[in-house]
A and B are shown apart, each in its own frame.
Chain A
Amino acid sequence: MTTTPQDLRTDQTPLAPGAPRSGTTFLGLPTAPRGVGHLRGDRSFPDAARDALRDGQLRANLGHATQTIRGKRARVVAELPDWQQLRAAGSALKAATMARLDEHLEELERQVTARGGTVHWARDAAEANRIVTDLVRATGTDEVVKVKSMATQEIGLNEALEAAGIAAHETDLAELIVQLGDDKPSHILVPAIHKNRAEIREIFLRTMPRVDADLTDEPRRLAMAARSHLRERFLRARVAISGANFAVAETGTLAVVESEGNGRMCLTLPETLITVMGIEKLVPTWPDLEVFLQLLPRSSTGERMNPYTSMWAGVTPGDGPQDFHLVLVDNGRTAVLADEVGRQALHCIRCSACLNVCPVYERTGGHAYGSVYPGPIGAVLSPQLTGVEDNASLPYASSLCGACYDVCPVAIDIPSILVHLRAEHVEAQEKPTAESVAFKALARAMSSPRLWRLAQRAAGLGRLLARGRPTMPAALPFPASAWTRSRDLPTPPAESFTAQWAREHGGRS
């Protein structure tokens, strides 16, 4: 059977709100534990978003950046005549991997071990942090260099190392900006996207010990300042910590995709390399990479290929680290795998294309999501990793416009997972809230044409309240005020589309 991306979407019909859960969906598998790592914010999305929306500089920086990168991506994607075929193959490959995840992981372990590496397994963030800390301690060093990695951010590795007296130096330029600015990443690919050049210059002048006092805010000068700041650290580092973009089960090959060369420095120069990887990041065979090495760079930085991709299998005598450790982390992933609708979120290759097209992300930025995974993918991944009760507002952080699905290189149907998680959240609530009542009513209305037409006519009443303005007043009576306090609700049109169609074409709606 040939699977097109269009089919993929309908293949995975979400459970209707209130439908019984299938027996295989909830098996009580543990989610990511509280109190460690960065999957939960300290505030709900609407609260955090309201502050972000007031920050004009942030919105300007984000708007500029997401618009630029959207344009670049569109240009290089249009260059490939077989983009949709690659996308369908990427999606099918990930689904095939998940269907036999245990077997592929065991094969990966065998191959890495056969080539001189050591494989460690971690049930959750705390265990992964403990394993890495012990490995670093065993080398006798008290500092490590790090390649940007979502997995190590997710588990809060830097904090764990710091608590053990080990300094972790981020080496990716954006991560360095975030670390020196005592800030948090706000984007998967360009974590300092919320900072402009003037703000970055100010951070460098304040925190880099030997920086040139005449440093300008020209991006080239700023990048060179980072180069000299890190150069000596690379040359003296004895231990490096990385993530992995891909692991090939049949060969034990690991791949790191990057731009600056900081990744190569970390993967090549130190004696010891520790790679921390989520258990979902693997592909079964070597030729499978031909799909992802085309999908990822074009979706992510909008380049035909990123400047550097490093691949290695275990240890190579005389070339690179002679001591290699791979740490495989669950941290809630198996709970995601258990959900037949939600498990697609594990197909994510972290390209960040869905962030860049999301109208909600573009206005609020990444911090409002509270988790290291922001934007549309974060809205479906974080609540599943933690259990929806710990990130209950995230499935609502979307307008369900579908732009994220259209750009996703592995065709993850994010809107359907969002609806599925909303239903799950509403169902889990003991006391009815305005939201749960509204969602239940909506579900009922949408399933009956007669009720739906009535509801649309009732919406026409809203026009009276708007008194000719394009949006509804913020001070609507409760419970509608809960919605309009932080959102512009458009005034309902004078006539619904179906009513207009019936009038103009005389047919049935």
Chain B
Amino acid sequence: MSAREEVLGRIRTALGETRAPVPEVVRDYRTTDDRPAAELLDVLVDRLEDYKASVLRCGPDDVAATVTAALDSGLGTGWAPGSVVAAPGLPAAWRPEGLDTDDDRPPVQLAERAASVTAVAVAIAETGTLVLDGTPPCGRRALSLLPDCLVCVVTADQVVGNVPESLGRLDPLRPLTMISGPSATSDIELQRVEGVHGPRTLVVVLVSGAAATIR
């Protein structure tokens, strides 16, 4: 008998011939958050800053300039545009002049770059989480991982209140990365240290106002 057949057979034996009915799952926890949108943005900012990420807010016409300011704060002024890689689908209006664009180079080459700039798929206010889904605006997973500074642009319409709302907007078949602050460890005496293997600096550009949408 194959291991597969044997393990499945053991499970059937363990559960018995007349199986008990499947217990009902009651979902009476919160699945939506009806706080006003403006309040959710404030909660998101508060949570992100609590994780030691920095947040810059701007209107829909100032995204490129604010991304530049974000890179200034993450890398120090005077950074070389060619050392910053943008996701291939990042809207042109959001890109500072001269940025490099990610292509199908071997992913490890991204480790030489100082920073990357991506969009997100969803942001969760209550937990301060950004979700990237591997579509062209977010880029492949290595892009938001290897450069030491990550700038993410979030538009107001992408911000949801809680975790259940976020999963409803995501495609489980895509490679998903949930990011809540810079990488961190608490392995030494449970003291939090920001920045281990992932980007040590996370700067979020939060775009609100009338036309603040990526689509």
Contacts and interface: CB of A to CB of B under 8 A. Distances in A.
Interface of A: 1-3, 24, 27, 29-30, 61, 64-65, 68-69, 81-82, 85-86, 88-89, 92-93, 95-96, 99-102, 105-106, 115, 120-123, 127, 171-174, 177, 190, 192-193, 196-197, 200, 219-220, 222-223, 226-227, 230-231, 234-235, 248, 251-253, 259-262, 264-265, 267-269, 279, 286-287, 289-291, 293-294, 297, 301, 303-313, 316, 318-320, 328, 330, 334-335, 337-338, 343
23 contacts: A3-B24, A29-B13, A92-B25, A93-B25, A101-B15, A190-B187, A192-B187, A253-B173, A261-B183, A262-B197, A264-B197, A294-B29, A305-B178, A307-B183, A307-B184, A308-B178, A308-B183, A309-B177, A312-B175, A312-B176, A320-B141, A330-B10, A338-B13
A240 B111 CA distance: 18
B167 A96 contact: no
Given A89-B27, A234-B197, A260-B184, A319 B140 contact: yes
Contacts of A93: 25
Interface stretch (B34-42, B72-80, B125-133): B125-133
B1 to A, nearest CB: 10
Contacts of A311: 172, 175-178
A486 B185 CA distance: 36
Contacts, number: 252
Interface string B190-202: 1101011111000
A123 B7 contact: yes
A450 to B, nearest CB: 38
Contacts of A289: 167
A508 to B, nearest CB: 40
A251 B173 contact: yes
Interface in B144-203: 145, 162-164, 167-168, 172-191, 193, 195-199
Given A24-B16, A264-B141, A89 B188 contact: no
The residue in A127, A304, A330 that gathers the most chain B C-beta atoms within 10 A of its C-beta is: A304
B121 to A, nearest CB: 12
A262 B140 CA distance: 17
Given A3-B23, A99-B23, A127-B3, A337 B14 contact: yes
Given A3-B26, A89-B27, A306-B180, A316 B142 contact: no
Contact of B26 (A2, A29, A81, A330): A2
Q: Which of A115, A248, A269, A335 has the most CB of B within 10 A?
A: A269
Contacts of B107: 268-269
Interface of B: 2-4, 6-8, 10-16, 19-31, 47, 51, 104, 107-108, 111, 124, 126-129, 134, 140-142, 145, 162-164, 167-168, 172-191, 193, 195-199
Given A268-B142, A319-B134, A334-B14, A200 B188 contact: yes
3 closest pairs, A vs B, by CB?
A: A261-B198, A261-B197, A261-B183
A310 B180 contact: no
Contacts of A220: 193
A227 B197 CA distance: 6
A253 B172 contact: yes
Contacts of B162: 294
Contacts of B176: 309-312
B51 to A, nearest CB: 8
A10 to B, nearest CB: 15
Given A259-B183, A268-B145, A305-B129, A337 B197 contact: no
B140 to A, nearest CB: 4
Nearest to B133: A311
A174 B31 CA distance: 35
A101 B16 CA distance: 12
Contacts of B7: 105, 121-123, 279, 328, 330, 334
